[in-house]
Structure formats: structure tokens, C-alpha cells
Chains A and B, each alone.
Chain A
Amino acid sequence: MRRGAWLATLTLGGLIGWATTGLFPRPPLPPWEAVTSQWGARNAVAAVVLGARLYDTLLEVLVFSMALVGVRWALRPLPQTEGRPPVAESPLLERAADVLLPAIGVFGVYLAASGHLGPGGGFPAGAILGSGLLLLALARGIRALARELPQPLLSRLEYGGLAALIVLGGGSLTLGWRGAWLLVLANLLILAKVSTGAWVVLEHFAAHRGEV
């Protein structure tokens, strides 16, 4: 049984490897430069994500939100761990988090806002901002940080960001809005959505499983 499973996957992998090593020539690229400048971008990936394939992106953001709703909803009936006394972290980590977090925040916003010009965009920027929050959480303790952060603002950012993104996407799809402003705005909204989403996951896991 186990050997059969390994054999089957090996055959599959071999087939994929064989089929793609030059048997099929790569198709010529579409005129991506023209498309990119038409959407007011310099980074073609941003033009695809937020322009040519906006439907995909909107639906993927919806999937992301649904998964987060699932995380919240499925963890609710489970018992929460009692707040253990937070382990005293080294002062170095605490200080480093204080110094690094503003830098990471600025870097994240920069990456999102300049995503249509160079590498970056809302998705990686949101993940980086989420990692920054993770660093701060490691220094202070997740639950202590959860009390410090303004919760209403966070949920407003999360759901408001989603709603604004849908409005923006709808305008672009039906009314034909386009231009650099649209890309910047959409990237910033995705940044808000993804970073708050990452924070929600961390906070809920920590509430039910204890601090790290």
C-alpha cells in the first residue's frame, strides 16, 4: 500500500518532468509591455493581478476572508488556555522589536504603494507587515499585544478594506476605471486585508494554544 503510493507519485512526477523538458515549446509571450502601460503600471505582475485578471484577485481575496471567518468560527467552541505568566524575553528582542516595527511598517506600506512600479504589491507587503506584528508579539506576548492594539480599528480595516476593494474592483470591471491611482489604492487595501488577516490567525491560535 505504502510502496504503491510512493510508486504512483513517482510515476506522476516523472511524467511531469518528461513532458515539460522541451517536448512542448514555450508559447510566445503576449504583448505584456503594452498591456502594462495601458493599466498605468511598470510592474507587469501588478497590472495582471489588479488589471487584466481582477476577477481572479477579487475572488481570491474572498477565499482568504472566508478562510479567516472559518478560523474564527471553528475555534470559538474550544476552551481558551489560561493566560500563563509571560516568559521574560531578553531585553534585546524587546528593544529590537520596538526599533524594527516602525521600519517594517514603513517598508510594508512602501512595498504596497510602489507595487505597480517595482517588485512588491499588496500581498507580499501584507505578509511582511504580518511578520512584523509576529516579531512584536514574540517580544511582548501575543495576548498582551492584542489588548494594546485598537481592536475596533483592526476589524474596520479588515471588513472596510474588503468592501472598498469590492467597490473598486466593481468600478474597474463595469465602469472601466483604470490608472495608477487605482492600482495604488487597491494594493493598499489588499495590504490592510492581508496584514489584519495574518494578525487574526496569530491571535486566535495563541488564545487557544497558549503563547509561544
Chain B
Amino acid sequence: MEGQVATFLASALLVLGLGTLLSRRNLIWKLLGLNVASGGAALFLVALGHRPQARPPILGWGPGPAADPLPQALVLTAIVIHFATLALSLVYVIFLTEHRHTQDVPKLEREEGG
């Protein structure tokens, strides 16, 4: 039950994030959409590792089946990496803003052509 709810949430977040990424024109809005989508992807992995009535995969933490530790480990590092890559992409957004004075993607592309 929890796993299914979380899977639905994950796919909804993925749709929401990717839709924002495609439909907004401002770079920071696009990054916010990507942020939500990557949260959805991470949640999807964790939800796949979940079992009904599961407990955390730590020895001695109660009875019952444990959740799969592998996706959790994967997501743990991915979240931290996401922070670093987000900072890097924001740096490039700042760079564009300083040099071209806009964050609007169609405008940036048009100026490049002309």
C-alpha cells in the first residue's frame, strides 16, 4: 500500500517536473522543475525497494521484513550529488544573466542566431 502510493507520487512528481522543464521559458523555473523531477525519480527507486510493513534495513530494529538497502544507498548519494550539480548549473545561469541580461531561453537562442 505505502509502496504503491509512493510510486504514484513519484510518477506524478516526474510528470509535473518534466512538464515544467519543457513548458517554462525561464531557466530558473526549468531548474526548479528538474529539481522536482529528480525528487520523483529518487522516490521511485526508494518505493521500489519498499516491502509491505517493512522496517528500516538496520540490524536489530524490530521484527518484520526489511526494506531493500541498495536503492536507499543509491538515492542517498544521488541527493548530495544533486545539490552540487544544481549549484553548478545555477552558476551558469548567473553567468548568462550577467553577460546577456536575460534568463529567457527563446530570447537567449534568438540572440545567439543574430
Contact B59 A37 (CB under 8 A): yes
- Complex CA distance for A140 and B8, rounded to whole angstroms: 43
Q: Using Cβ atoms and an 8 Å threshold, which residues of chain B touch A208?
A: 94
Q: Which of A1-41 contact B (CB under 8 A)?
A: 2, 5-6, 9-10, 12-14, 16-17, 20-22, 26, 29, 32-33, 36-37
Query: What total of chain A residues lie within 8 Å of the partner, measured CB to CB?
Result: 55
B8, B44, B74, B77 — most chain A CB neighbours (10 Å) = B77
Query: What total of chain B residues lie within 8 Å of the partner, measured CB to CB?
Result: 46
Residue of B nearest to A202 (CB): B87
Q: Which of A26, A63, A74 contacts B81 (CB 8 A)?
A: A63
Decide yes or no whether B108 CB sits under 8 A from chain A. Answer: no
Decide yes or no whether B105 CB sits under 8 A from chain A. Answer: no
Interface residue SS majority, chain A: helix
Interface residue SS majority, chain B: helix
Q: A5-B22, A13-B11, A123-B80 are in contact. List 20 more A-B contacts (CB 8 A).
A: A6-B22, A9-B19, A12-B14, A13-B15, A17-B12, A20-B47, A32-B57, A45-B72, A45-B73, A48-B72, A48-B73, A49-B76, A63-B85, A67-B88, A71-B84, A74-B92, A119-B56, A127-B80, A197-B84, A198-B83
